[in-house]
Amino acid sequence: MITLLIVLAPLAGVILTLPHEASRASYPPDLDGSSAELLPGVMDSSEVQYGGIESGQSASDSTGASLSSLWSYSTVTEDRYDHALHGDQHELTPYFQDYENATNITAQLGSTAYLNCRVNRLRDKTVSWVRRDGDKIKLLTWGLHTYSNDARYSLNFEHPNNWKLQIKYTQRRDQGSYECQVSTHPPKVLSVRLNIVAPVVEIIDERGSSVQEKFYKTGSTIELKCTISQMPQAQTFILWRHGDHMLNYDTSRGGISVKTDMSSSVIVSTLFIANATPKDSGNYTCSLGDVATGSVLVHVLNGEHPAAMQHGSGTKDLCSLSLVMVLATLTSILNCLSAAHAR
């Protein structure tokens, strides 16, 4: 019996060391050919046992520890591979800086419209602007180059990242949908809606109603009030003209002044002309550049008070005069016919 134990003892030692050697042989090698025990930051031989039996540990416990280490290595390696493959690529992808703030632009008719497109991390990609009209797409710019036949369109790059589309002298037909595109796969698109509004210019009377004709008495003060509404861009340069003659800076006549009030959403400009004479009669216009114009016909009279004519008495007198002239004409015709018949 003692002899049998002496023979089997070396064999038992060999069997107990097999899990240790097997686990080391089957463990995935590192990329440089070394074992996973040498991977810095993952695990080392002082922290993980890949096989063998420690004090108070069975062979099955040793095998479980080896499998657990193998699973940990596989998970960490997969995460690192995924980050190397996709992480850096995601960090290099271009993106729009102010996606929500640039999607709706309102410009005044005749002004210059700017459509912003700020792109971060552009790198080797290209920015282009297109005009979308239903299913039709028209290329306007590509990079810094303009491809539109309309000279009003151009690319106005603003450092460091604003690929700004500029549209000069906006017209009603410029209203619509535009797209800023980045040449990724698939392309990144920023949609911008451009709205064109035209100011409304009216010349009103004392009651605030639109008027096209006003009457004044010689020696009185002409007062014309012009209102301008629906202006997305505030402007103070409002011109008054008498015929083709500009009145804003007229010092030759004297007694002319212009007062402009911009305290509310509706701009009010008032023209004053003191000591009116018949020479001040004619067409007066209030204009906002070449965008919008309002006009009124002014009469300066020597006789009847203008208020009476504005309330209709002047119109009645004109009608009575016309009726008298018609009756006189009919009478003349009848007399001629009677004379001819008598002959």
pLDDT tens digits for 124-147? 999 999 999 888 999 999 999 999
pTM: 0.55
Cis before 186? omega within 30: yes
Mean pLDDT score, 96-117 = 87
pLDDT at 336 over 90: no
pLDDT at 263 over 80: no
Which range, 15-19, 65-69, 98-102, is most confident?
98-102
Bridge partners of residue 315, in order along the sequence: none
Residue, of 289 and 268, whose pLDDT is higher:
268
Q: Give exposure, 186-220, as e/b (b: 16+ Cβ within 10 Å).
A: eebebebebebbebebbbbeeeeeebeebbbbeeb
> What confidence score (pLDDT) does residue 327 get?
63
Torsion of CA 132, 134, 137, 140, to 10 degrees: -30
Mean pLDDT score, 318-323 = 49
